[in-house]
């Protein structure tokens, strides 16, 4: 993929493919370029028999920023659902291990996307937030499923109910089970980890990932259905549309 595209795919080490989200115009919200680019990139990973590990990362201070204002307004008008394209679960469904190198801010669905990876590296200075309730609607994108799995129920519940911002350093102090390093070291840490995985046979990596993620893949659809049902209720509130219109990007 060319550097001009919103998502760039390239080998950064033997057997290690990097998927880089770089839509500077949208600040890595789930624009059409990001959405199509991610789906194409993960499809290409499956066509690359030499790929053993994927690193998913962003650009500068942004990892991924979640839904666009237009997408959220459409949901508030009852048009479509986040399930129309299952962007959130691409790392989970990928046959080889995926490392989220979250070198920048992870916001809303963008943070959730990173949590669906097999391994995660966070930056100390960055902001991570599940800010759905800031606008008054309940979390989607599988957040209510994957966050308790990866962060623990107590912290995940607090993050989703409060919609507060958390620096990586604060999450580290709260005991999250991921490495948290200076943001300019995130990619190097992820690459070192990827190269360790890439020493293993691809067949074995694929078999082990399939086994470890099987229970997650099986349980996810029921939670997604529940999130969609909550959206039908919570997005319909007039104050939600007002908050999306006035607070988005503030």
Which residues belong to the active site? 231
Q: Which 3 state secondary structure label does DSSP give 201?
A: coil
Nearest to 133 by CA among 21, 15, 244: 244
Sequence-distant (6+) residues with CB within 8 A of 119 are 97, 98, 99, 100, 178, 193
Contact predicate 64/45, CB 8 Å: no
- Tell me how crowded residue 207 is: count the other CB atoms within 10 A of its CB: 12
Tell me the longest C-alpha to C-alpha distance in the chain.
54
- Tell me how crowded residue 238 is: count the other CB atoms within 10 A of its CB: 9
Both structure tokens of 221:
């659809």
Contact predicate 68/30, CB 8 Å: yes
DSSP string, 137-175: ----TTHHHHHHHHH-HHHHHHHHHH---EEHHHHHHTT
Question: What span, in angstroms and rounded, lies between the C-alpha atoms of 56 and 46?
Answer: 15
| Residue bearing tokens 């499956």 | 46
């Amino acid at each position: 993929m060319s550097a001009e595209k919103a998502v760039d795919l390239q080998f950064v080490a033997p057997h290690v493919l990097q998927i880089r989200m770089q839509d500077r115009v949208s600040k890595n919200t789930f624009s059409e370029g990001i959405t199509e680019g991610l789906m194409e990139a993960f499809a290409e990973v499956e066509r690359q028999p030499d790929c053993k590990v994927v690193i998913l990362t962003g650009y500068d201070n942004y990892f991924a920023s979640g839904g666009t204002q237009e997408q959220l307004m459409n949901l508030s008008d009852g048009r479509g659902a986040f399930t129309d394209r299952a962007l959130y679960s691409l790392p989970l469904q990928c046959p080889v291990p995926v490392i989220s190198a979250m070198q920048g801010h992870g916001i809303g669905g963008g943070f959730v996307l990173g949590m669906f990876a097999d391994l995660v590296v966070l930056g100390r200075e960055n902001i991570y937030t599940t800010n759905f309730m800031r606008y008054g609607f309940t979390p989607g994108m599988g957040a209510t499923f994957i966050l308790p799995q990866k962060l623990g129920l107590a912290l995940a519940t607090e993050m989703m109910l409060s919609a507060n911002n958390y620096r990586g350093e604060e999450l580290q102090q709260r005991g999250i089970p991921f490495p948290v390093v200076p943001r300019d070291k995130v990619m190097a840490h992820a690459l070192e980890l990827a190269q360790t995985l890439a020493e293993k046979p691809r067949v074995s990596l694929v078999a082990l990932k399939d086994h470890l993620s099987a229970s997650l893949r099986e349980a996810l659809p029921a939670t997604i259905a529940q999130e969609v049902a909550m959206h039908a209720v919570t997005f319909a509130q007039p104050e939600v549309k007002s908050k999306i219109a006035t607070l988005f990007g503030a």
